[in-house]
Amino acid sequence: MTIGRIALKHILSPVIEALGFQVWGIEIDNNKKVTLLRVYIDLTDDFISVDDCALVSQHVAAILNVEQVFTGRYTLEVSSPGIERPLYDLEHYELFVGHDIAVKLKFAHGNRKNFKGCLHAVEGDEVVVRIDSSEYLFPFENIDRANIIAKF
């Protein structure tokens, strides 16, 4: 069975939330002989520990096996989104307005796909990124990947 990221998030969220965590994001890589499932978990006011990841991993593996989500072999990784966290939903972008981000687009905008700048706003279904003195509006559906750029 092939399942999408959103459907899988719907299946896994209730159990992960019952354990006290939030599902930050899900990535599925079917490009190899073994499917890679990466689940990012988060806590509102605390750090994610290795023990937290192990606990969630056990519960997620049980659900995947009972629901028979993947027909072949798969590898499960449970992790914190980290300091340069990926952004998956418009709500994530709204949380990080004012932070620097890196954006990779699905389709080129002005002959480029990669941009780095300050996340200025979210307007409807568009993400506004300020680069130097210009603002770029990227439709959310055209964003392939985006993440926070850490500052030290």
- Tens-place pLDDT, residues 82-131: 999 999 999 999 999 999 999 999 999 989 999 999 999 999 999 999 99
pLDDT of residue 99: 97
Q: Return the number of other C-beta atoms located less than 10 Å from residue 57's C-beta.
A: 16
CATH architecture of the domain covering 5-79: 2-Layer Sandwich (3.30)
Q: pTM for the full model?
A: 0.87
**How high is the mean pLDDT of the chain?**
93
Given this model, what pLDDT does residue 46 score?
Answer: 83
CA distance 98 to 92: 12
Q: Please state, for a pLDDT cut of 90, what percent of the chain lies above it.
A: 79
Domain ranges of the chain: 5-79, 90-148
Query: What is the dotted CATH code of the domain comprising 90-148?
Result: 2.30.30.180
Question: Distance between CA atoms of 79 and 41, rounded to whole angstroms?
Answer: 6
Tell me how far apart the alpha carbons of residues 106 and 144 are, in angstroms, rounded to a whole number: 5
Q: Per-residue pLDDT for 58 more than 90?
A: yes
Contact 80, 47 (CB under 8 A): yes
> How far is it, in rounded angstroms, from Cα 21 to Cα 83?
17
Structure tokens at 137: 């509006």
Given the structure tokens 């056990």, which residue do they identify?
Answer: 58
